Structure 1
């Protein structure tokens, strides 16, 4: 269970970095935490933002766990022909699928341009996930 939580946090971090770098990728949410207390609006907004990224990270992880293996298997000939570069397109498609799924939730991931924004976001998310996953797995080996 702890590994799943770590993966969701890593996905959320990677999505945050990608949305911070790319202007065409935004995550918008409705209120998770109310700001009933006076002066708590800043902290409530921060909590809402963190929860929104964690929610999108969870959905992205579910899409990657359920849909991506099937798509990778079906696109294996193209992946071999492109020497693995088609994997970037698959990752972008999984990100786009996550954005489409979030249109039915209170938190929405929007990607302006499928090709360039999604491809660059997929590259950024892959790099951040690889680095963060390497750091978290090296800590657990000790």
Structure 2
């Protein structure tokens, strides 16, 4: 039950983040839910591999390279989902940051 609530909150956060950022577009709430599910799968499978492969760079940048990995995950989700579009790397990075902040706020509320 908690996973479904987390997906709904992430979908709502994605819709809100897409509304705030002009370089990101989501067709509808169903697409936002699919995006939340795809991001959950990518964060569970692809992110650990990327983090492991980039440990030296992450240590060198004091962890800031993890923001780049988050943006790459968003761009990969853009490639996989038809109704979700990100205009470039900077918008993916901003979307990742805004989505994280909104999701954290919604998690605190609910």
Q: Normalising to structure 2: TM-score of the pair? A: 0.89
Say whether 1:17 aligns with 2:23: no
Say whether 1:129 aligns with 2:108: no
The 5 A counterparts of 1:85-124 are 85-103=64-82, 108-114=83-89, 116-124=90-98
Distance in 2 of aligned mates of 1:10 and 1:80: 32
Deviation at 1:63, TM superposition (A): 1.1
**Which entry has the higher C-alpha Rg, 1 or 2?**
1
- Deviation sequence 1:35-73 (CA, Å, 0-9, x none): xxxxxxxxxxxxxx2222112111111111111111111
Q: Contact 1:18–1:124 at 8 Å: present in 2 too?
A: yes
Q: Secondary structure at the match of 1:63?
A: helix
Q: How many residues align?
A: 110
Which residues of structure 2 form unaligned runs of 5+? none
Stretches of 4+ aligned residues off by more than 4 angstroms: none
Distance in 2 of aligned mates of 1:63 and 1:72: 12
* Higher mean displacement: 126-135 or 18-27: 126-135
Q: Which has the higher helix share?
A: 2
Which residues of structure 1 form unaligned runs of 5+? 29-48, 137-142
Distance in 2 of aligned mates of 1:132 and 1:89: 24
Output the aligned Cα RMSD.
1.4
Q: Normalising to structure 1: TM-score of the pair? A: 0.71
Q: Secondary structure at the match of 1:84?
A: coil
